[in-house]
Amino acid sequence: RSTAARSTADSIMNGLKPEPTCFFEQMQTVTLIPGDGIGPEISAAVVKIFESAKAPIRWEERNVTAIKGPGGKWMIPPDAKESMDRSKIGLKGPLKTPIAAGHPSMNLLLRKTFDLYANVRPCVSIEGYKTPYTDVDLVTIRENTEGEYSGIEHVIVDGVVQSIKLITENASRRIAEYAFEYARNNQRSSVTAVHKANIMRMSDGLFLRKCREVAENYKDIKFTEMYLDTVCLNMVQDPTQFDVLVMPNLYGDILSDLCAGLIGGLGVTPSGNIGANGVAIFESVHGTAPDIAGLDLANPTALLLSAVMMLRHMGLHEYASRIQTACFDTIRDKKVLTKDLGGNSKCSEFTSEICHRVQDLA
């Protein structure tokens, strides 16, 4: 673990009072899960930037490697669960996918433990990181618990496999409600339900009906429906026509990655998972990049932007804007960029640059 993360986390753990930042703002606890590979170094970068911004966040670092609980069922360590239940907010770096470890992926465990039903990805074009698509500003909201990822598959007879896609009224209503609430809270003007109800009449039809019902309670937000294929077709020609998109699991998986591709990939895309009981875990969605781990080459942008999303979720908009501006300005100026962004600076240099800007913007 890098020194930066250790110092902040440990000082709190050792009972030292963290430096009071502002008399009017209470420190809020956030469970920090650094993750694997480049996870620890990018988490340290985020902590450092937050320190420079004097954000009222107290980090509680936890590990979520699965352990076998009583009864032989895999679960996340109890201290991690306890911390999340208490703080309600988490920031997570990339977790490595276990192969032949005997336990399911940690992401799946987290999702089930905290009932993380909504995956939210705002995709905004980053000025200074050029892609063929400019002015992208949309949000994909994906139902994350059911749909095509129910994991229910059977071999009917040899050579015939059936995979079950599950759509329920409750999950559909819940995600639709979240989408409209999000739109209202973030001043977005329209919500589009993405579906294939022409082919999957009952399942996507149910999803669509629930969206329509919820839309009735949000007359201030425009509601439209569009076929998945039409969305794909239009998205690659003119992404500016989209605002908030809500959809079942598989379409959400595909579309959110498609949109990430438009703005520059998973290295610059933030993501948040909203759970029942007010829990929210924000995360970077890229991999652990084991080939560059520990070499101070990683790009912390994705995790940083997810942390910014987290600040907005917590109502700390001023800090969010400052940190985001500092990050975007650094990228736009192109003087200090990590390798994947086209430069050859180190992670620590990139981080320091953002820290300076954040302080200047105060």
Alpha-carbon gap, residue 49 to 55, rounded angstroms: 9
Binding map of another protein across residues 235-264, x = CB under 8 A, - = no contact: xxx------------x--xxxxxx-xxx-x
Return the range that interacts with another protein (CB under 8 A); candidates 69-77, 203-211, 214-222, 288-296.
Answer: 203-211
Query: Could you tell me how many residues of this chain bind another protein (CB under 8 A)?
Result: 56
Alpha-carbon gap, residue 163 to 245, rounded angstroms: 25
DSSP state letters, 65-104: --EE-TTS-EE--HHHHHHHHHH-EEEE---PPPSSSSS-
Backbone CA torsion sign across 297, 94, 44, 321: positive
- Least distance (Å) between residue 140 CB and another protein: 12
Amino acid code (one letter) for 53? A
Asked if 344 is part of the footprint of another protein (rule: CB under 8 A), the reply reads no
- Least distance (Å) between residue 248 CB and another protein: 10
**Choice between 129 and 328, CB closer to another protein:** 129
| Contact predicate 131/262, CB 8 Å | yes
Asked if 233 is part of the footprint of another protein (rule: CB under 8 A), the reply reads yes
Strand partners, 154: 162
**Choice between 4 and 262, CB closer to another protein:** 262
Asked if 341 is part of the footprint of another protein (rule: CB under 8 A), the reply reads no
Asked if 168 is part of the footprint of another protein (rule: CB under 8 A), the reply reads yes
137-143 vs 116-124, strand pairing mode:
antiparallel
Using CB under 8 A, which residues numbered 104 to 163 contact another protein?
A: 131-133, 148-149, 151, 153-155, 158-163
Alpha-carbon gap, residue 194 to 255, rounded angstroms: 10
**Choice between 63 and 131, CB closer to another protein:** 131
**Sheet with 222-227, edge to edge strand ranges:** 57-61, 28-33, 89-92, 280-284, 270-275, 116-124, 137-143, 244-247, 190-195, 222-227
Contacting residue, 79, 85, 135, 169, with another protein by CB under 8 A? 169
Alpha-carbon gap, residue 218 to 25, rounded angstroms: 32
**Choice between 19 and 158, CB closer to another protein:** 158
Using CB under 8 A, which residues numbered 259 to 288 contact another protein?
A: 260-262, 264-266
Binding map of another protein across residues 72-101, x = CB under 8 A, - = no contact: ------------------------------
Structure tokens at 243: 């605002």
**Residues contributing to the site for another protein (CB under 8 A):** 131-133, 148-149, 151, 153-155, 158-170, 196-206, 208, 228-230, 232-237, 250, 253-258, 260-262, 264-266
